[in-house]
Structure formats: C-alpha cells, structure tokens
Amino acid sequence: MNASPEPLPHLIDVDLGDRSYRITIGSGHLDDVGTICREALVDRHAFVITDSNVGPIYLDRVTTSLGGTSKRVDVMTMEAGESTKSLANCQRIWQQMLHLAADRSSIVVALGGGVIGDLGGFVAAAFARGIDFVQIPTSLLAQVDSSVGGKVGINLPGAKNMVGAFWQPRSVLIDTDVLSTLDQRNYVAGLAEVIKYGLIMDLPFFEYLEKSVSELLSLDSETLARVIARCCQCKTDVVEADEREQSGRRAILNYGHTYGHAIEAVFGYGTFLHGEAISIGMTCAGRLAVQLGLVDSEFLKRQTELFRAVGLPVDCPSEKHDELIDAMARDKKVSKGQLNLILPTKIGHVESIPAPNRAEILTSLKPTD
C-alpha cells in the first residue's frame, strides 16, 4: 500500500450496472448526509431506522442534514442488539411506514451497525417490492464489511441471516469519527475483518497494517479513512466479480468464517463477538493450512502476531471441539454434502479446499505450542 497521503474524502465506486453506487469515506460526514447523498435523497420521504445506542448520539445530526434535502423525514428507533433482526420487527416497521404514508418513492436510511444495516436493508428490499436505501454504518465491522455487497436480511429463531435478499444501497456514507464512541471491544473485533482483507487478497495492505498498529489503536482518523477505504475497495472488487455468490469468487471472504460461525453458535451468540470468533477461526484455518502443507509456519506466526497486536483473541476454547466440528459440517456453505474451507496459500491469497478428515480439523482447533 502506497504510504503517500491520499485526498479526503475517499470515494469508492461500486460498479454493478444499474445497481451501482458510491461509498464516501471521511471525517465529519454525518452533518453532510443531505448533500453527499443528495441525488438519492432529494425531495424524497426519508425513513431513518436507527437503534437505541446510536440514535441518542447521532440521530439529530443526521435528521438535521436530511431536513435540508428530503421533503419529509421520519424516524424509527429499534432496540440495540442482534435480536432486533427479526421478522416481527420488519412487520412493525413496514406498518409504521404505511401509517406514515411511505410509498415506493420513499427511501430508507439505515443509521447504525450491522444489525441496523441488515434489518433496514431488508425492510427496503421488500417494501413495495423494493425501495431505495442509504446506509450509514457506525461500527467498524459494518463499515468494512456489511455496508458493501448488498447482503441484507434477518434471523429466524436458531438461524442467522436465513431470510433476506441481495439488495444494493443507493449510497453509503462512512464517517470515521463515529468510531470514537464505539466501545473498544467492538472496535477491535472489527479489525479482524480489516486484517482479513490483507490476508485473503492484499499483501501490501497487510504490511501496511503491521506498521500501523499504534495509529489504528489510537483511532487516527487519516489512517482509519485509508484503511476503511482499502477494505471497501477490496470487498468491492470481489462483489463486482460475483455479486450473488455464484462463481465462487465471493467465497474467499469467508476465510475463517466456517470456524467462526461454529464458534459463535456453539459457545452462544454474544460470548464471542463476530470479529473475535473469526480471528480465532482464521487462526485455526491458518493452522490447518500449515498442517496440510499449504503454507509454512511463518505465515501463521505473522498472522497471529498481528491479531494479538491489536488485541484480538486467537485461541479456541479447549472444550466442545466435537460440537464445533459438527456445527462446521452444518455450515450453510456446504454444497452437495461437501464442506469446503477457504485456506491460505500465502499472505494475500486464499483458495477453496475440500475439508480434510475430522482428525485434521480437530488438531487445527488446538493451540500450537
């Protein structure tokens, strides 16, 4: 990654034909939603969905800015937390939208982390068979991952993201300043997805991250903007090549995720944050790759050191390993009975490999001495 400063704001154009959109990344943007996303919002009825954590801090700035552009602004504030991503809440929101005279020209503005983005996006995808939405992600995880690529959805009891759509936003606005009010644990968890992009597809970016740990941990806004922009560009490149997960290219984003999803499910959602679970998951996957001779132990050492440097966990709990492997076998990426894993061959490259036998996977769960 080139070390020379780049102009702010960073602009990423996601090219998906008639579903193309721009991601704008910088500092202080919450006050400029109305102007930055003017094309999407002008003279429209904007329906802001936020949550009980983010709303009290940032909602006023967003609605004030929208007020100068949209013809009407309504707000719905949901309880913060994963359980908000339910069908019952979709119905509540849709009925409120109807009550407030929303129609097919209205636009949803999702202001919050991944939960609000996923929920608000699905609300938009299905209301009147699909209306526009703008995404303002406020967690690092949402900024670098769920705000790019159009995956929206809700949970069924016992099945995360089981109902949803591929529905691209009209515009994404990322304000790095909001990360200052994100709690440390959630911020660090988001760094797991950041580091993932380096590992799966971008060696220079990985090296830049190795050198930028202190800037990352002190929330240096220029570093943050550059890092988030690079992540969004990486994900954009993948999504442009495989919007609907059909060619297999998009699967590289799942590095560490089959392990990670199993860890989240077996130890209970919330025990580990998603980013923590995939940090452990990538560590296990890296270890498996060493076992299989796909990479040398130096790979695993560098990967582990960077996770540790930013404060991410890397060790899988020493219990429930059989349950973990069973959960991995049920992963929704299982295709025709064959579980494939995304495994590294070097820093900056991963491949989809048929999972080896149970004993190999069991070994990969255990910390290397």
- Which of 180, 335 has the CB closer to a copy of itself? 335
- Which of 128, 219 has the CB closer to a copy of itself? 128
Residue with tokens 């550059």: 226
Question: Smallest gap, in angstroms, from Cβ of residue 294 to a copy of itself?
Answer: 27
Distances (CA, A) of 63 to 45, 74, 152, 214: 12, 9, 23, 34
Buried b (16+ CB within 10 A) or exposed e, 241-276: ebbebeeebbbbbbbbbbbbbbbbbbbeeeebbbbb
CB 148 within 8 A of CB 117: no
Q: What gap in Å lies between CA 338 and CA 156, rounded to an integer? A: 25
Residue 166's nearest CA partner among 210, 220, 126 is 126
- Which of 126, 294 has the CB closer to a copy of itself? 126
Q: Which of 11, 42, 57, 156 binds a copy of itself (CB under 8 A)?
A: 156
Question: Smallest gap, in angstroms, from Cβ of residue 29 to a copy of itself?
Answer: 29
Q: What gap in Å lies between CA 318 and CA 179, rounded to an integer? A: 33
Catalytic one of 45, 226, 230, 235: 235
Q: Looking only at residues 81 through 110 of this chain, which bind a copy of itself when binding is defined by CB under 8 A? A: 87, 90-91, 94-95, 98, 103-105
Residue 53 DSSP code: T
Q: What gap in Å lies between CA 167 and CA 132, rounded to an integer? A: 9
Tell me if 259 contacts a copy of itself by CB under 8 A: no
- Which of 57, 162 has the CB closer to a copy of itself? 162
Tell me if 270 contacts a copy of itself by CB under 8 A: no
Tell me if 362 contacts a copy of itself by CB under 8 A: no
> Residue 136 forms beta bridges with which residues?
111
Question: Smallest gap, in angstroms, from Cβ of residue 87 to a copy of itself?
Answer: 5
Tell me if 11 contacts a copy of itself by CB under 8 A: no
Is residue 29 annotated as part of the catalytic site, yes or no? Answer: no
Tell me if 158 contacts a copy of itself by CB under 8 A: yes
Q: What gap in Å lies between CA 355 and CA 362, rounded to an integer? A: 12
Catalytic one of 44, 45, 196, 274: 274
Tell me if 334 contacts a copy of itself by CB under 8 A: yes
Residues that bind a copy of itself (CB under 8 A): 87, 90-91, 94-95, 98, 103-105, 122, 125-130, 151, 153, 156-159, 161-166, 244, 332, 334-336
Catalytic residues: 129, 151, 193, 235, 245, 250, 254, 257, 261, 274
